[in-house]
Structure 1
């Protein structure tokens, strides 16, 4: 472990133990360095690294604070990492596999917790998807919002952040382009409708089954295009 890594770990330990709770202000740099038994340079580098990770927030002219440490903040870099992985066919297959493992169970949980207001939100995005079948940008946006509303119904912020991260908007757009090209959009919309009906019935078994069918079909379609177009990063017909 490098000296900088040790400095980072010492600050993280202060946060873990509650000595620096969320929202608290760190001591001035000289005091922090003395408290940790580090040089000021090492303390500064550790603070910079933790700020990039959204654990700390540097406020110019005010000081450095521990962030809220909410999952949505700490895990927000996941989506950016997924975007960078989209030229890697193996990584895409792995991401879809993770989605298949998590999303059906999350949908089942949503069926037990979904409120009437959240259900209405899911329906509004489903209706918008039907109207936007020929508009990839709108279709993608409402597809993402549909799934976000479903997973939000669980009340589990960590689960929501992870699933949103592994299902980036760019990936969704490319998948939808492939579905439209394959004349499979109608089937995919029907799968979304089945998920909505399961939620409306508050049926956990049906919710899990419909989500599993939807994600599995999407995964299979993606795998087929990857195999058929191995020379392209994602293998979507007509994409440059």
Structure 2
């Protein structure tokens, strides 16, 4: 039987790379994002290139309505989803304490509440029909004290690690993908200054996704693409937090 994946934030960056690679592997897709025109363009391209079915869901996952619309699609028993990729995200340019708290609330909804609700729906649905897979796009920032964004990603990393263990008996595997700096629209949309980030720290979205899916096939709970970031994540756990915090502020 053809497998089906639901990918959020699928019109650009890592989400688009997941959609393209999964279509190449023969998955039918459900792609989710805020902009219908961009979703339809991606869907048309993937249908034509890979001869797969691609359903489009226009939804803002920072809203209750957008999450509900996506949950409804996840729980559609007539067109079951075998793999959920929680990728949609954004960040703010300023540090917590200087930003608008309403913007921080929206980030909390998008980066924590939305993936929690989608995971909940996916796990309950997958457990009832023999299993499935979830990939949560966290960040190497989860290993560093780096403000609200890293706190959100640390939450997602922790939940993913627990869920992978807890639901293994019903054949559900959960992965936290923890990339570093990736060449996408992410930093530009967040109006973040990344001029101080060295070239060697940048990764390509397709390489990040390839590493994630290889690790998913191997059953790895945490996927950190590239040796350089594996080393940095390890150091971040053992170096003094004051030093890690100073280093992590670079490129913000």
Q: TM-score, normalised by structure 2?
A: 0.24
> Which has a greater percent of helix?
1
> Which has a greater percent of strand?
2
Kindly indicate whether structure 1 or structure 2 has the higher relative contact order, using CA contacts under 8 Å at least 6 residues apart: 1
Say which one has the larger Rg. Answer: 1
